[in-house]
A and B are shown apart, each in its own frame.
Chain A
Amino acid sequence: MPLPDAEILYKQLVEHIKADSEKRFALVGIHTGGVWLAERLHRELSATQPMAPLGLLSVSFYRDDFDKIGLHAQVKPSDIPFAVDGAHILLVDDVLQTGRTIRAAINELFDYGRPASISLAALVDRGDRELPIYAQFTGAELRLPKEKILVFNRDNNGRFSLSLKDKKVIANGKEDLPA
């Protein structure tokens, strides 16, 4: 099936976030795709307002499927270089599906402090939620077959794209939890 252009979805996502002028967000990207998005978003928002340094989150140590699949070979470190206590945090991820990655990310954030609020931005919301998680900002909502994984990519020029792959094909090499 034809997939939307990730660059257009990104622009829509940015517009939605900019339209919410009430909160001055501190950005936290979730490895790996969420970090790519958050890096660009952070640059863009920094041009018009003072921003806290970008936070990076790896939910590897907070996953609920560790017993089944263990640790990924390449665990990336988390780094939250601002005070979480009292901050309005905007979590950024590429694809939202089950909500389990976001649940793990929220748990981890609370080990850094007590934020005033946590909002969620996702480039694509696939639905299929297994937990009561809601994204305040999305680029698009797509309904896709469950056996397909929506892969978010960034090329050498920093340009975003989306592709669909079979779950079975990438089950051994997939970096993150099914979103």
Chain B
Amino acid sequence: MINRNPQLDKNRVLQHLLTTEGLPASILLQILDTAESFVGVTERDVKKVPLLRGKSIFNLFFEPSTRTRTTFEIAAKRLSADVFNLNIAVSAQSKGETLLDTVDNLSAMNADMFVVRHVQSGAAHLIAKHAKPGIHVINAGDGRHAHPTQALLDMFTIRRYKKEFHNLKIAIVGDILHSRVARSQIHALTTLGVPEVRVIAPKTLLPSKVERLGVHVFHDMNAGLRDIDVLMMLRLQKERMQGANLPSSEEYFKNYGLTPEKLRLAKPDAIVMHPGPMNRGVEIDSMVADGNQSVILPQVTYGIAVRMAVMSILAGHQV
């Protein structure tokens, strides 16, 4: 059988984390289970284990993102790896070096892992395909395509609060069209057996034929929120408000912003999630963001443990 998933080796073992699409539930659960043990580490006085001592991890951020880069950096340092942050947008690339030249140079410095953020969809796949055997690649967000560690930390948060996936109704609300987070979330949720995933958005912010991903589509937020266990809000980027996708941010908030009144339509114990950073008063009301159903800050904490899990699972597999 030909192995078509570039993330897995011939023994179906994870070599790179590029997308949640096509990954078996067993691997997603392995990451979540391993992350459980790392939560304990992050709560100790000494928040460090020696697992990746001597490994070199390069954060290759071709697109700026302080938050995501910092969480990867913290995760790597808590595993005792040596971390190198490269803001490539203002260095090698501006001098004309190609993406793959950059990768070759860093490989020659005996890198063990690349964490890649890039504005182009597929950049992490390209680097994984090109990198020397033994170098593992983690996609930290590529274009509109995928953001697998964000999706995994979301799955981890859901499991922590709801215990099981197989009895949940989950809604993803907002700009599905431009969201790499939403894509990765949908693939992970369906793989983990969530029976009903809804997307709630105006037609202008939904990809065509989104139903093919196995989701139910709602344009009316009030209808979409009924009986929901988990609400996953998405960030609305400013350029979408200024462009042709939406009339105004006020109009968007009126229809798709999560207010306490709208939240009451979901189940009383529903949790509210957001990948951050939030636009308060655009996609979410502060009363909800800071309310007792919000798990937005725990998501950030769990993000460290999940990234530690991914890094250690990858680094432990030798070619």
Contacts and interface: CB of A to CB of B under 8 A. Distances in A.
Interface residues on B, range: 20 to 34
Given A75-B37, A76-B37, A78-B37, A66 B316 contact: yes
Contacts of A142: none
A129 B317 CA distance: 28
Contact of B34 (A62, A66, A71, A113): A71
Interface of A: 58, 60-62, 66-71, 73-79, 107-108, 111-113
Contacts of A68: 318
B21 interface: no
A112 B316 contact: no
Given A66-B316, A79-B40, A61 B51 contact: yes
B92 interface: no
Contacts of A77: 36-37, 39-40
In the A-B complex, list the 10 residue pairs whose CB atoms are closest, starting with the nearest. A70-B316, A61-B49, A111-B46, A77-B37, A75-B37, A71-B316, A77-B40, A61-B51, A75-B34, A70-B317
Interface string B296-319: 000000000000000011011110
Given A69-B316, A70-B316, A70-B317, A111 B48 contact: yes
Given A60-B37, A61-B51, A70 B318 contact: yes
Given A67-B318, A70-B316, A78-B40, A112 B46 contact: yes
Residue of A62, A67, A68 ringed by the most chain B CB atoms within 10 A: A67
B50 interface: yes
Contact of A111 (B30, B33, B44, B317): B44
A66 B36 contact: no
A4 B45 CA distance: 42
Q: Please report whether the interface of chain A is mostly helix, strand, loop or mixed according to DSSP.
A: loop
A70 B41 CA distance: 18
A6 to B, nearest CB: 28
Contacts of B49: 61-62, 108, 111
Contacts of A111: 44-46, 48-49
A58 B40 CA distance: 11
Given A71-B34, A73-B30, A75-B37, A112 B44 contact: yes
Contact of B313 (A69, A70, A107): A70
A113 B37 CA distance: 19
Contacts of B313: 70-71
Contact of B33 (A69, A75, A78, A113): A75
